[in-house]
A = this chain, B = another copy of it.
Amino acid sequence: MELIFLGTSSALPTKFRNHSAVALKAYGEIFLFDCGEGTQRQMSKIKLSPMKISKIFITHFHGDHFLGLPGIIQTMGFRGRKSPIHIFGPTGLGKIMEHIIKLGYFSLTFDIHVHEIKKGVIIEEEDYKIECCPMDHTIPNFAFSIIEKRKPKFLREKALSLGIKPGPDYGKLQRGQSVKIGNKLIKPDQVLGPERKGIKIVYSGDTRPSPEMIKFANEADVLIHESTFESKHGNKALENGHSTVSQAAEIAKKAKVNKLILTHISTRYKKTDQLEKESTKIFKNSVIAEDFMIYEVKRIGD
């Protein structure tokens, strides 16, 4: 499971940082969180094909978070994409997509499924679920979490002691189906361990430090949180609906996350040593994201 930072700047792009976008390679899919202008080029620079994106999540409708959509959609059409794509975002996404698909001449060779989201679970698959939660910005902004639905451990010794031989029955039980051994019905919970915590990744979009985030990101393996300014520009953060590095680090601490990755860095910071110092002081396991940074998300413990 890999997080690939495609754009880590705030409102304006710089030489080294493009507008917001983070890709997640997981569960045989590519998920894209935000899609600022130039995201398709960032992807091409690290040979990540937009054709493989299955789902795009837009946190809010400030241009630096979604103006890469028209180009990436037209490129998918140009390259003859057939598989549908799902795009999720706040109320108004439908209208915006109507405008986007009228921008010039191009072939739309695939279906676009538009989902306007409300707080709660927005995707429920066998392997994972995705939830969203409103945050606190100048306009509606949603944070997203993607949570692995980890299967419980199969208790082989217990299965053997119940007389179940290795083979197709093991698979059935693991998938939650009962099996018959002689005239005994064996239920899955007889051979499966307790529920196990799956990998949880949270992406904030743009937000003030929010108590909602502390709950939403609770015990996440990775929290990707905006931190547009350092503490001494706290007034600017407040004014523009953003967080400072310290505020984001406090959130991470209170939410008991494992790793904090800070992004959406103001153009005023050419170097980020000072920001990282500010963050690690409050929350040790934190890092300032850079464009093309790849973070391998690993399960902690068992």
Contact = CB atoms under 8 A, between A and B. Distances in A.
Interface in A39-75: 40-41, 44-45, 61-63, 66-68, 70-71, 74-75
A293 interface: no
Nearest to A77: B63
B67 A14 contact: no
Interface stretch (A99-107, A196-204, A217-225): A99-107
A235 to B, nearest CB: 19
Contacts of A134: none
Contacts of A45: 15
Contacts of A100: 99, 103
A78 interface: yes
Nearest to A14: B44
A95 interface: yes
Nearest to A140: B105
Nearest to A37: B71
Contacts of A102: 95-96, 99
A209 interface: no
Given A18-B41, A44-B13, A62 B105 contact: yes
A297 interface: no
A162 interface: no
Interface residues of A, number: 34
Nearest to A92: B104
A78 B19 CA distance: 14
13 contacts: A11-B75, A11-B78, A13-B40, A14-B44, A15-B45, A19-B71, A37-B41, A62-B104, A63-B74, A63-B104, A63-B106, A67-B74, A96-B103
Contacts of A106: 62-63
- Ranked 3 nearest A-B pairs via Cβ: A61-B104, A38-B38, A13-B41
Contacts of A71: 19, 37, 63, 67
A122 interface: no
A63 B103 contact: yes
A98 to B, nearest CB: 8
A88 to B, nearest CB: 16
Nearest to A58: B104
B105 A61 contact: yes
Contacts of A12: 40, 44, 75, 78
A40 to B, nearest CB: 7
Given A11-B78, A63-B70, A96-B102, 7 more contacts: A12-B40, A12-B78, A18-B41, A61-B104, A61-B105, A63-B75, A67-B70
